[in-house]
A and B are shown apart, each in its own frame.
Chain A
Amino acid sequence: MSTTKLTGHAALNRVLASELAADRRALIMGETVRLGGSTRTVLRGLYDRFGPRQVIETPVSENGIFGAALGLALSGYRPIVEIYTADFLLVVANEIMGDIAKWRQQQALPGPLPIVIRGCTGPGMEGALGSEHSQAMEGFFHHEPGLVIVTPGTPRDMAGLLRASLRSPDPVIFLEHRRIYEMTGEVPDDEGFMIELGSAEIVHPGNDVTLVAWSWMRSEAENAVRVLDQEGISVELIDPRTIRPMDHAAIARSVARTGRLLVVEEGTRTGGVAPEVLVRAVESAAKPIRIARVTTPDVILPYSPTLELPLYPNAKTIAEAVRRLVASDRSAAPVAAA
């Protein structure tokens, strides 16, 4: 299969272009989308190519846009809604979780409700975006049973998961990390290339510890794994790639071998995704396992990058947590390490 080296931006742009061309009922809507959208890059050129029927520039009216997207999806369209930054999904929490996620069940409607909600997340390389522009948003939405939440960690996964999201019959929140926009990677050229939603990837096989990380945290975890490898600690790194559905089975299979599970989350600590992953692993394990997590502490992110950037988990803090987990007494009952 031929591949091309692409940035995250370009990988997304290529998939959107091919899907808009393949299905004239797919349409992009959102703020500033006519001239490239909030990133200026992901949607570049799409308005010129597909015109105002398929790339609909909207006012800054999130409630209006998301409600209209639901009306369009109910009428057979496939709206792809861009939110300026994923944090602003809180403006439309009710449209997403109250209306879109519940609509088919409450109406007992057969058929698809294909709405893809795309938004950028994370601090970017420099940080300083502030607490209402750079939060990891998956933790806010994973509680809602009616949603699919996708968190790609590489340009390749951005491409494969976006296409799968666009062809999914279900509403999807697709979270694009700013640092992955800038990353480059080999992306398959095949216009059918898709990654199944809900299928984890074993990024690095290992035996001592199972490490779960997604989105940008996957890259930090990969760096940690390399360092730990040299120290003789064998880590199995799993990227679940989607938060809902979460591939708990893949994690359980790995933990059955390693007996230790560390979950890394860019979001803040309390009530996030990590605790859910840990609890499921404990519930399903045949024998006691040791668990730990590395997360951003429970703080409101400061605007100052010198204050902000050290708060996020990184390769060093992840490696340190793995070492502590391995050093801890294997025979002890399950405990949550710091």
Chain B
Amino acid sequence: MFLGKNSTEQMGLEELTSAYRLMALSRRFDERMGELNRRGVPVPHYHSGIGQEALMVAAVMPLRRTDQMIYTHRGYGHLLAKGISLREIVLDLFMKAGGTNQGMGGVMHVNRPDLGVPGREGAFGSRFAIAAGLALAAKLDGRDDVAVCFYGEAAGARGILYEALNMAVLWKLPVVYIAEHNGWSVSSRTEWLYPEGSMSRVWRGFEIPVEVVDGNDSETVFTAVSRAVSHARAGNGPSVVEGLTYRIEPHIWKDKAAYQPSEEIELWRARDPLLRAAKRLIEFGAGKDEIQSIENWADAEVERAFAALETAPDATWDDARRQMETQ
């Protein structure tokens, strides 16, 4: 899997192809979950990432394995791009043995410290400071690893953002904060929560790099985050990328999202990050059949993950204990 071997800040055919694979996998999985949901299967704690794939995937691709990443609850592209398998995510989601946390934290706490995914907090906000601490550890160690912290409208309105940012600037920490501006926080519009709907303006007072980008354009996201990551790696401190995107699906499985105007959803469907990436792949010289084969691969991967689910037993306390006791 591609994990940012390339040091350039532009996506070439190879990078965009890798991104497309991960985005297609993320999308197929969400579509499959949508089908389950429509059939009435309860899927607690599942949050669809449809429409936000570029921001999830292309922002993680510039990272190394040893870089730390804190993800949001929405969408699974961040995790896939950091190297966690869909199988593990699905097993965690359905509280089966064999995922990453054996029923102890479900899909809310998917983690693989060996891949730079230490886990996630459930009461949103601590992430800003946890990421600062991960970055501080890298700095104290003399490693040039960075910490990347995704956040949504909810966490971004917590005061801890200010505390962590103040420390990150004060200590020049190698941390990148990425705002997922997706138009909604449950049923609240972003503009109802932030002055003029800006999730990143608050950071500008510290005179650090703040970039607002088209979050549905893989290449733009990749370039902006690559720059921010290089800035951090070089010891120049924190920066922020706000990606503008849109939550196509309801907040959570039980939500009917009647508050979300269908014209608005249609407008954003037209800006689908996968369609745009596919178009660019063609421009880069990829064939339609190559794109189709990626789609087929994604379908097969989703089938494989769900097949593992069929046979996986429910996680038990013993599974968790065994995992926690292995060093």
Count of B interface residues, CB-CB < 8 Å: 45
B160 at the binding interface (Cβ < 8 Å): yes
B8 at the binding interface (Cβ < 8 Å): no
Interchain CB contact (< 8 A) of B105 among A58, A98, A107: A107
CA distance A53 to B122 in the complex (A): 30
CB-based contact B135/A59 at 8 Å: no
Interchain CB contact (< 8 A) of A109 among B119, B122, B132, B147: B119
Q: How far is the CB of A34 from chain B (nearest CB, A)?
A: 14
CB-based contact B132/A68 at 8 Å: yes
CB-based contact B122/A71 at 8 Å: no
CB-based contact A106/B126 at 8 Å: no
Q: For A95, what are the chain B residues with a Cβ–Cβ distance below 8 Å? A: 126, 129
Q: How far is the CB of B165 from chain A (nearest CB, A)?
A: 9
CA distance A99 to B132 in the complex (A): 15
CA distance A61 to B119 in the complex (A): 23
Interchain CB contact (< 8 A) of B126 among A27, A58, A63, A77: A63
Task: Give the residues from 13 to 48 in chain A that come closer than 8 angstroms, CB to CB, to chain B.
Answer: 27
Query: A84-122 vs B: 1/0 string, CB under 8 Å?
Result: 000000000011001100011111111100000000000
CB-based contact B132/A64 at 8 Å: yes
CA distance A248 to B76 in the complex (A): 46
Task: Give the residues from 157 to 179 in chain B that come closer than 8 angstroms, CB to CB, to chain A.
Answer: 159-160, 163-164, 166-167, 170
Identify the interface centre among A62, A99, A111: most chain B CB within 10 Å of its CB. Answer: A99
Interchain CB contact (< 8 A) of A107 among B104, B123, B163: B104
Q: For B121, what are the chain A residues with a Cβ–Cβ distance below 8 Å? A: 98-99
With known contacts A58-B167, A68-B136, A108–B129 Cβ distance under 8 A? no
CB-based contact B324/A110 at 8 Å: yes
CB-based contact B101/A67 at 8 Å: no
With known contacts A64-B164, A74-B134, A110–B327 Cβ distance under 8 A? yes
Task: Give the residues from 313 to 327 in chain B that come closer than 8 angstroms, CB to CB, to chain A.
Answer: 320, 323-327
A65 at the binding interface (Cβ < 8 Å): yes
CA distance A103 to B70 in the complex (A): 14
CA distance A67 to B162 in the complex (A): 13
A174 at the binding interface (Cβ < 8 Å): no
Interchain CB contact (< 8 A) of B130 among A27, A68, A108, A109: A68
Query: B170-199 vs A: 1/0 string, CB under 8 Å?
Result: 100000000000000000000000000000
A70 at the binding interface (Cβ < 8 Å): yes
Q: For A74, what are the chain B residues with a Cβ–Cβ distance below 8 Å? A: 113, 118-119, 130, 133-134, 137
B109 at the binding interface (Cβ < 8 Å): yes
CA distance A73 to B140 in the complex (A): 13
A97 to chain B: closest residue by CB: B123
Q: For B68, what are the chain A residues with a Cβ–Cβ distance below 8 Å? A: 75
CB-based contact A72/B133 at 8 Å: yes
A205 at the binding interface (Cβ < 8 Å): no
CB-based contact B104/A75 at 8 Å: no
CA distance A95 to B123 in the complex (A): 9
Q: How far is the CB of A294 from chain B (nearest CB, A)?
A: 36
Q: How far is the CB of A71 from chain B (nearest CB, A)?
A: 2
CA distance A246 to B160 in the complex (A): 33
Q: For B62, what are the chain A residues with a Cβ–Cβ distance below 8 Å? A: none
Q: For B226, what are the chain A residues with a Cβ–Cβ distance below 8 Å? A: none
A98 to chain B: closest residue by CB: B123
Interchain CB contact (< 8 A) of B166 among A61, A71, A72, A77: A61
Q: How far is the CB of A106 from chain B (nearest CB, A)?
A: 4
Interface residues on A, range: 20 to 34
With known contacts A59-B170, A67-B160, A106–B134 Cβ distance under 8 A? no
Q: For A297, what are the chain B residues with a Cβ–Cβ distance below 8 Å? A: none
CB-based contact B126/A59 at 8 Å: no
Interchain CB contact (< 8 A) of A64 among B100, B123, B134, B163: B163
CA distance A77 to B135 in the complex (A): 12
Identify the interface centre among B118, B130, B134: most chain A CB within 10 Å of its CB. Answer: B130
B131 at the binding interface (Cβ < 8 Å): yes
A60 to chain B: closest residue by CB: B163
Q: For B320, what are the chain A residues with a Cβ–Cβ distance below 8 Å? A: 105, 108
A334 at the binding interface (Cβ < 8 Å): no
Q: For B105, what are the chain A residues with a Cβ–Cβ distance below 8 Å? A: 105-108
CA distance A108 to B160 in the complex (A): 26
Interchain CB contact (< 8 A) of B136 among A71, A109, A111: A71
Q: For B167, what are the chain A residues with a Cβ–Cβ distance below 8 Å? A: 58-59, 61, 64, 68
B122 to chain A: closest residue by CB: A98
CA distance A67 to B159 in the complex (A): 13
CB-based contact A68/B109 at 8 Å: no
Q: How far is the CB of B121 from chain A (nearest CB, A)?
A: 5
Interchain CB contact (< 8 A) of A77 among B102, B137, B163: B137
12 contacts between A and B (CB under 8 A): A63-B159, A63-B160, A67-B126, A69-B133, A71-B137, A74-B134, A75-B141, A94-B126, A95-B129, A106-B101, A107-B105, A107-B119
Chain B residues at the A interface, C-beta cutoff of 8 Å? 68, 100-102, 104-105, 108-109, 111, 113, 118-119, 121-123, 125-138, 140-141, 147, 159-160, 163-164, 166-167, 170, 320, 323-327
Extra contacts besides A74-B113, A76-B137, A107-B111 (12): CB < 8 Å: A61-B163, A61-B164, A66-B129, A67-B133, A68-B129, A71-B137, A98-B126, A99-B121, A106-B101, A106-B122, A109-B111, A109-B324
* 5 cross-chain pairs, A with B, having the tightest CB-CB distances, nearest first: A71-B133, A67-B129, A64-B163, A75-B137, A68-B133
